[in-house]
Each structure stands twice: as structure tokens, then as C-alpha cells.
Amino acid sequence: MKVAFIGLGVMGYPMAGHLVKAGHEVTVYNRTTAKAVSWSEAFNGQYADTPKQAAQGCEIVFVCVGNDDDVRQVLTGENGVFSGLTKRSTVVDHTTASASLAKEMHDVANEYGIGFIDAPVSGGQAGAENGVLTIMCGGEQVTFDKVQPVMDAYARFSQLMGDIGSGQLAKMVNQICFVNAVQGLAEGLNFAQHAGLDTDKLLATISKGAAGSWQMDNRGKTMCDREFDFGFAVDWVRKDLGMAFDEAENLGVDLTITKQLDNYYEEVQALGGNRWDTSSLIARYKKPE
């Protein structure tokens, strides 16, 4: 297909590259043009000066930007995606944004005769680079069926969760669950280090039992070594959690423990860890001498 990809951050850059490798004709747009030029040279693709230009003639446009306002700007702003697409084309928004934003953009897309799917992803930078992301989608079945085979270029699993906004709600659950898993791992490993245990042996052992998790397998050793350069930044997880708190308030749902973890991430930011990855919760604890 002829497709476009808007946003070439740590996730979008490799995701767009996988689309080229899968045989699609890809045009990209990025706010910083130099990044788009670099991508086009790396993947032999095209780049455009505006989202509208990138979208022209495309069947599907993928978006992966920072937040609600960024999505509005690239889709509905001057020279936005919607103004460049024809009827019966589709926009897939991979941004982790609010469920209300998804519904808002879906309504605007309908006015243009364009399909819309909210499709936040999980798997981090490594998942994007290796083409093994998990995608949670909200929208109509017929629209999902159209885009799923194309998303397979960078996904190991994608699921339609329900109506528009359901993908974003599922992503909120994902964020709630994983930050709680990280904190449990941080507390346990801090305990182990102060108890003088060999953490390599410990991780090799308890990862085989009920305590095992993706976080333990992929971040346990680096947490012990206080290495936090693995992509998904503290600033971004706090943005995501903020949206979950807003939604929880609307639903009357208790997120007391997750709010405490958000406070812990604020402490990490105060340590200068805004761009550290989310496993940096252990940085709150002093490593034994």
C-alpha cells in the first residue's frame, strides 16, 4: 500500500522502517526535518514537508506523536493529515493519548469520510526496533480488519478491544500494571542488595518461579547496576499515568497505589531522571557500599 507515517521518535522511526521492509510505499513527516531526511536515507523512503503532503494519495496514515495536542495539530491543524486524505482512507493513531481525544478525532474523521483507529502500542523501543509490538485498538471491525495486516509489519499481536477509545483505555491498564510490577521489582532487588545476596544468581532463580516477569527478565540486572537508558522515559510514563488518573476519577475507580508510584516517579525526576527509563524507580533507594 501507499502509506504515510507521522512522527519519527524512538518508536515511529523503526516502525516506519518496518513498513518499508514489508514492501509498502512509505512517506514520512517529522517536526524536525533532519530526522525525516535521515530516515529517508536509511530506508530509501520519501519525506514530506507537512502532514498534509505526506498523507496525499495514501490509503493509511499512521501517527505516533507525543500527546493529545500533538495529535490534534498533525491531524486537524493547518496542513494537517485530514486535509490531505481522500474519502475511505484511514488514520491509525499509535500515540498514547486520552480516550476522549480518540473519540474527538474519530468524529472529525467521520466528517471527512475517513476511518479512524486508536491504536496505542506496548513493547517499548526494543519492541519497535524488533517489530514485536503489542497493539491495543479501538474502532470499527471493518476498519481494524483493513489496517491489521499492515500493522503486522511491526507487531507480534494486535487486538480490537472495542469501540473508539477502547485501545487507549487498555493502554492505561497496561501502564497501571507495569509500573506496579516495576516497583515490586525495585523493592525486592533493593532488599536483596542490602541483604548481600548475589543478584545474578537470585534473578536466575526467582525468574523461574511465581515472581518471574518481563520486567525481571529484561530490567532486573540493569536495575541492580543502576543503568536506566532503555527508551521509555519517566516524563512519558507520568504523562500516561495522568490520563489514567483522569479516567479513573470519571469512573469512580481507586488507583491509590498507582498514585503513590507516580509520586515516586516525581522523586526520580527530582534526582535528574526525567529521561531515565521507567525501571529507574530503584534509584530512590541508596545502593549498598
pLDDT at position 80, please?
97
Q: What is the pLDDT of residues 193-231, one digit of tens each?
A: 999 999 999 999 999 999 999 999 999 999 999 999 987
pTM: 0.94
Cβ atoms within 10 A of the Cβ of 86, count?
Answer: 13
CB 266 within 8 A of CB 280: no
Q: What is the pLDDT of residues 137-154, one digit of tens each?
A: 999 999 999 999 999 999
CA dist., res. 144 & res. 2, Å (int): 17
CA dist., res. 174 & res. 177, Å (int): 5
pLDDT at residue 55 is higher than 90: yes
CB 91 within 8 A of CB 178: no
- Active-site residues: which are they? 171
